[in-house]
Amino acid sequence: MAQVFPLVFLTALALTTALRAWLALRQLRHVLAHRRSVPAEFADRISLAEHHKAADYTTAKTRLALVELGVDTALLLVFTFGGLLAAFDQFWRGAFAGPGYGHGIALFASIGITGFCVGLPTALYRTFVLEARFGFNKMTPALYIADLAKQLLLTVAIGGPLLLAVLWLMGAMGSLWWFYVWTAWLGFNLLVMLLYPTFIAPLFNKFSPLAEGEMKTRIEALLARCGFASSGLFVMDGSKRSAHGNAYFTGFGRAKRIVFFDTLLDKLAPAEVEAVLAHELGHFKHRHVWKRIAAMSALSLAFLWLLGQLIDQPWFYGGLGVAHPGTAMALILFSLVLPVFAFPFGPLMSWLSRRHEFEADAYAARQAGGGDLVSALVKLYRDNAATLTPDPLHSLFYDSHPPASQRIAHLKSA
């Protein structure tokens, strides 16, 4: 197995990378082939110049994704067969006089910092060049650095203790450690959902109560019709980072909050905002959030069980260029290897997500009117420069929402 696994992994990596590159090239060709004219169903609402902008924005993002694909694949090979993981492991074993909690946390930090540094150039390019070129970026370098500093502090303050707990459970709970880790991970995610609206999100954005007026009156009436109780209606200053707009509700129980980006309120009429919120409430009414949590929980349990079968197999480590087995190294290797084998199954999750989107759209059409939601969606497609003509196969793998033409057609039929 020690001789076979490297070949299996390299074959899977080559096939997955080739598939992702092929999908990106299909997207480029398809979007550019339909750049010359606006689809007939949108011709009365989207100008040719706006259609050109969406096509150019999509192709620019796709080309950057191809660059990131090459960088990520190269980094994965350097980590494994290039010996960088083994070098980090050896260094920290010497620094901490052998494996242990300090060694494990330092190993994770080394991998995280390396990945961050390698990905920083494309991240900066995306924000300050690509997004700025199309008029979306509003973030200053100072704000970008401040956000990074806050994210680092949160990672250390929250991620550090969580990682320590996981490593302890892996070492102390015997052969069923994967079940205890899954339980802790599930509890952690539910706790974050509870705390995020009131303690984490305000570290990055300012949330102000929605002002009195027609908008608030409409929304409160909608909430009453839908039987949705929240802890408040808030406007988020999303415009200080981006011109993109959105609305969402977050948290659960008494901590549920409804949040509107200020950019969304500036672009949509009150009836359209009501329709967008009705769509979000449709997710709540159909229990989509809990269904997705259940699906992700089942997947994470299966993945942790699989790791439990691999953690004591020397070929798993040796086949990826690592000489010394260990709990921290097992977690790192598994997190690096899993996406390579899991990517072909992406359409299954996209299918589930799209089904939920159609159900939420249908709910919104009943509660607030399909015409207003169609109008709002067209404005959002236009203002966010979302392509109206994605490649169907690329969309099947990557898009959690149905293509614009399908979504609008479903709403009109409803």
- pLDDT tens track for 285-305: 999 988 999 999 999 999 999
Q: pLDDT band for position 284 (50/70/90)?
A: confident
**Given a cut of 70, is residue 2 above it in pLDDT?**
no
Is 280 assigned a catalytic role? yes
Q: What is the pLDDT of residues 343-367, one digit of tens each?
A: 999 899 899 999 999 999 999 999 9
pLDDT band, very low/low/confident/very high, at 79 (cuts 50, 70, 90) = very high
Give me the catalytic one of 272, 274, 361, 372. Answer: 361
The pair of structure tokens assigned to 295 is 């699906």
**Residue 193 — pLDDT band, cuts 50, 70, 90?**
confident
Q: Any idea where the domains of the chain sit in the sequence? A: 4-173+325-343
Q: Is 391 a catalytic residue?
A: no
Catalytic residue, from 89, 272, 280, 391: name it. 280
Percent of the chain exceeding pLDDT 70 equals 98
Annotated binding site for Zn(2+): 279, 283, 357
pLDDT per residue over 209-234, tens digit each?
A: 988 888 889 888 988 888 887 778 89
Question: In Å, how far are 148, 204, 295 from 145, measured between CA atoms?
Answer: 5, 12, 35
Q: Please say whether the beta carbons of 61 and 386 come within 8 A.
A: no
Phi-psi region of 388 (alpha: psi -120 to 50; beta: other; left: phi over 0): alpha
Question: Does pLDDT of 147 surpass 70?
Answer: yes
> For residue 212, what are its two tokens?
């009195």
Give the distance, in angstroms, between the CA of residue 199 and the centroid of all CA atoms in the same chain: 21
Annotated binding site: 279, 283, 357
Query: What pLDDT sits at residue 3?
Result: 79
The Cβ of residue 162 has, within 10 Å, a number of other Cβ atoms equal to 14
b/e string for 220-259 if b means 16 or more Cβ within 10 A? eebbeebebebeebbbbebeebbbbbbbebbbeeeebbbb
